[in-house]
A and B are shown apart, each in its own frame.
Chain A
Amino acid sequence: MSDDRRLPGVVDRDGERRVRVMAGLELSRGRAALALLGVALLFAVPDLTPLLPGVKLLVVHQGLLFGFAAVGLNLLLRHTRLVSFGHAAFFGAGAYATAVLATHYEVAGLFTLLATALVAAAVVATVVGYLSLRHTGLYFALLTLAFGQLLFAIAQGQQFLGGSDGLSVRPGPGRGGAPTILGQVFAPEVYELLVYYLTVVVVLVGLLVMYRLANSPIGNALDAIGQDRTRAQFIGIPTRRYVWAAFVISGVYGGIAGGLYGVAVKHVRPEATLHFLRSGEILFMAILGGFQTLLGPLIGGVVFFFLKIGGRNFTDYFDALTGVVLLLVVFGFPRGIVGSLGGDRSVRARAAAVRSDPTVVLEWAVAGVGRLGGALRTAARNVRSVFGGT
């Protein structure tokens, strides 16, 4: 028998040896190897990018950061089933916190900047959450969208925030420097590497925390609220308060990501951080990667950034490309990248189905069009109810 307080290590579960990462997280040996490989790969990215033409470290870095924001968003999406269209607000709040502090208050310490980003996002999420969570479903989505755009408009209009040019995150004389890490000034290449490694560590810790949260009693309560809010209330769950807390945690993930974005990119513009399209992209990353999974949103984030950069080189209609990918995912692989690679092997199953009978694609298309029709009808009904009342 294993003691549940023991440190990470190998444990025996009914004869199967499993690798224990922390309490509540045990992986089969295959999965543990895969996880280790993933972590090693993340740390090796700076060494690999020079070998791949056209791939820049900053692209992977930004993918990870937006993906991390999507991991936060997924707390709402996966558990409470709330679709937020305004998560860029928290990303932007975090990013702008670093920029304002660096530009106007000469704060140079990287960890101070990041801590402020976290607090700023928490404050914004607390207020936006309080006001949006009076509603669910469509109205909630619209309210988050509205608050996001409000912040975007403020950032664009305020000279203090740099208007549409944004602010740089370059404290120090002449504004040529970068934030300092533990009081040390580093050369730009070294700084970039260090911030990237910091991002990797933050992402890994954030994933473990999210895993633990999802498997905690709070995660259970959020699942219950997502599946039947009325029933959750009538088994004694103060649903509003729980969802509010989840909303703030979710926003804090976005804020940390935004803060890291600020210190990594060293310039924060409203278009790049606060625009509602960024909110849409964060949502898209979660769906692309698989919103029923922990890792999906993160992987969705990286894949999305490659799509974005690659798409720009390849076609002017980059947005159409992501649109097509989204359609493919929703109709073909609703579980997303990670979800489809998981237990049920649906990618392989579908590939096998196509091999044995290629006309099955036609059937999927017909079914897809049918579902699309249903979705459009629902959308039309929602729009009617917005303008005409329920």
Chain B
Amino acid sequence: MLVARNLRKSFGEVQATDDVTVAFGRDPGEMVFVVGPNGAGKTTLVNLLTGRLAPDAGQVLLVDDADVEWDALEGDGSDATRPWDAGAERDITDLTPERRVHAGVVRSFQVVKLFEEMTARENLRTAVLSERGLLSSATGLRDGYPEVEAAVEDLLERFRLGDRADDVAEELPHGDRKLLDVAMSFALDPEYLLLDEPTSGVSTGETELVIETIADVSREEGVTTITIEHDMDIVSGYADRVVALHQGRVHGRGPPEMLETDDELRRLLLGVET
């Protein structure tokens, strides 16, 4: 389980993350969506969890304990207790991003980040080599590992990029770029995958394809996904659980039905008056 424990982060006067306590991955393969209006602190939370930003206070923990009373932890988030064995906890707050990746915490970016001058295949190969600890070899050849090449082919197929494998990343259509970005993240064999608006900027027709592919692969592999998403139809359609943020605090969490039943949340997210 990936746990944010009393995380705080401010930028000047703005309290972007204000004492956030939340746990992801209660069931492996669970799809959690993080929702909230602009400025709610969604991206900051992802940045804190993945090491892009260091928190002012609080911890990021990996907890290996299935028998935890999660509601106690998540009660109001203001003063989280530690309802697990000390031995089951690993504090990753001070780990660099690259070390977090090897610990299983992987992310994508809202504005896709790819190795623009490499082909789709080369982008994926770089990620697979990294995951297998082969990148430090000075004597091998970058395309000389049959098992890596096989893994790359498999990813190309699963993310429907086979036809575009040898196109340079910067020339790929936007939807494929998003898919490639997510595919690279999957190549790293994550346990927790944080996706910052994987469907933003994707044409309406392609949105379903992107999210459907993510859902398929993460369920197959048992990867917990933590996705920031603005499209409430997607959230309702795919979420196992929803975490709503507002002004840097956890406004609420629960099943996706809460988007229908929580009037306050509806007002915040959609501007709907009831």
Q: Which residues of chain A have a CB within 8 Å of any CB of chain B?
A: 23-24, 212-213, 215-221, 223-224, 227-228, 230-239, 242
Q: Inside 8 A of A23's CB, which chain B residues have their CB?
A: 141, 144
* A227 in contact with B98 (CB, 8 Å): no
Q: Inside 8 A of B221's CB, which chain A residues have their CB?
A: none
Bound Cα distance from A230 to B113, whole angstroms: 8
Residue of A nearest to B141 (CB): A24
* Chain B: interface size category: 35 or more
Determine whether B139 belongs to the interface, using a CB cutoff of 8 Å to chain A.
yes
Given known contacts A220-B142, A227-B118, A238 and B137 CB-to-CB distance under 8 angstroms = no
Q: Inside 8 A of A227's CB, which chain B residues have their CB?
A: 115-118
Bound Cα distance from A383 to B131, whole angstroms: 40
Given known contacts A223-B115, A227-B117, A238 and B138 CB-to-CB distance under 8 angstroms = no
Q: Inside 8 A of B184's CB, which chain A residues have their CB?
A: 235
| Selected interface stretch from B74-82, B99-107, B156-164, B228-236 | B99-107
* B138 in contact with A235 (CB, 8 Å): no
Task: Report which of A215, A219, A220, A236 forms a contact with B101, defined as CB distance below 8 A.
Answer: A236
Given known contacts A213-B138, A216-B137, A223-B118, A234 and B101 CB-to-CB distance under 8 angstroms = yes
* B50 in contact with A235 (CB, 8 Å): no
**Which residues 164-212 of B have a CB within 8 angstroms of A?**
184, 187-188
Determine whether B136 belongs to the interface, using a CB cutoff of 8 Å to chain A.
yes
Bound Cα distance from A56 to B188, whole angstroms: 56
Q: Inside 8 A of A215's CB, which chain B residues have their CB?
A: 141-142
Determine whether B96 belongs to the interface, using a CB cutoff of 8 Å to chain A.
yes
Most buried by B among A23, A234, A237: A234
Nearest-neighbour CB distance to chain A for B247, whole angstroms, equals 27
Most buried by B among A219, A221, A232, A235: A235
Q: Inside 8 A of B126's CB, which chain A residues have their CB?
A: 220-221, 223-224, 235
Determine whether B213 belongs to the interface, using a CB cutoff of 8 Å to chain A.
no
Q: Inside 8 A of A220's CB, which chain B residues have their CB?
A: 122, 125-126, 129, 135, 142
Given known contacts A235-B130, A235-B188, A236-B130, A221 and B135 CB-to-CB distance under 8 angstroms = yes
Q: Inside 8 A of B270's CB, which chain A residues have their CB?
A: none
* B98 in contact with A233 (CB, 8 Å): yes
Determine whether B97 belongs to the interface, using a CB cutoff of 8 Å to chain A.
yes
Bound Cα distance from A212 to B134, whole angstroms: 15
Nearest-neighbour CB distance to chain A for B117, whole angstroms, equals 6
Nearest-neighbour CB distance to chain B for A278, whole angstroms, equals 28
Bound Cα distance from A212 to B98, whole angstroms: 26
Bound Cα distance from A102 to B109, whole angstroms: 57
Nearest-neighbour CB distance to chain B for A24, whole angstroms, equals 5
Q: Inside 8 A of A232's CB, which chain B residues have their CB?
A: 115
Bound Cα distance from A69 to B65, whole angstroms: 56
Nearest-neighbour CB distance to chain B for A159, whole angstroms, equals 41
Nearest-neighbour CB distance to chain A for B36, whole angstroms, equals 23
Nearest-neighbour CB distance to chain B for A152, whole angstroms, equals 32
Bound Cα distance from A227 to B113, whole angstroms: 10
Determine whether B7 belongs to the interface, using a CB cutoff of 8 Å to chain A.
no
Q: Inside 8 A of A218's CB, which chain B residues have their CB?
A: 135-138
Determine whether B140 belongs to the interface, using a CB cutoff of 8 Å to chain A.
yes
Q: Inside 8 A of A242's CB, which chain B residues have their CB?
A: 135-136
